[in-house]
Amino acid sequence: MKLLVLRHDEAEPREAGAGPEVDAKRALTPEGHKRAVRAGRALAKLVGELDLLATSPLRRARETAEALRRELDGVELTETDVLAPGKSPAEVAAWLGAQEGIEQAAVVGHEPGLSQLVTWLVSGLSSPWLEIGKGGACLLELPDRIAPGQARLLWLLRPGQLRKLR
């Protein structure tokens, strides 16, 4: 399986003292939305078709995933709590492994969880050795059995690099 890992783009600022319910409703900024659309176009060209497009239930991730979905005809958007902040790489891997017949998937979520996931899948380490910037993405190649240290990092693009692709 190939796995595209995409971090949501720039969101509205956090309200001081606001709880998780308020944080979950933060939208992309107008600039973040524009960048997500440009990134969606570039990623659609890079990865082609997807069998699965999954997103965190938080609004900013869902909006970023929608920008990609609009560029990919026919792919449904799946919302899952396993991509919400605070979930472990093992939880995400177990969920991915339970998906049937998936050759190419994309997940959209948050930091530091996505960097922890990529690090764990590639190296088996629990502390991240990379950071996916807001609106950045990477592509992994996973073996049939998803396990720590078994993935191969095909590419990692910072947000600015991704937006420059045509």
Mind listing the pLDDT tens digit for each residue in 91-118?
Answer: 999 999 999 999 999 999 999 999 999 9
Q: What angle separates helix 113-123 from helix 89-97, to the nearest 10 degrees? A: 70
pTM, entire model = 0.95
CATH of the domain at 39: 3.40.50.1240
Give how many domains the chain has, as a whole number.
Answer: 1
Per DSSP, helices labelled H in the chain are 20-24, 30-47, 59-71, 89-97, 113-123, 159-164
Percent of the chain with pLDDT over 90: 84
> Which amino acid is residue 148, in one-letter code?
P
**Containing domain of residue 149, as a range?**
2-164
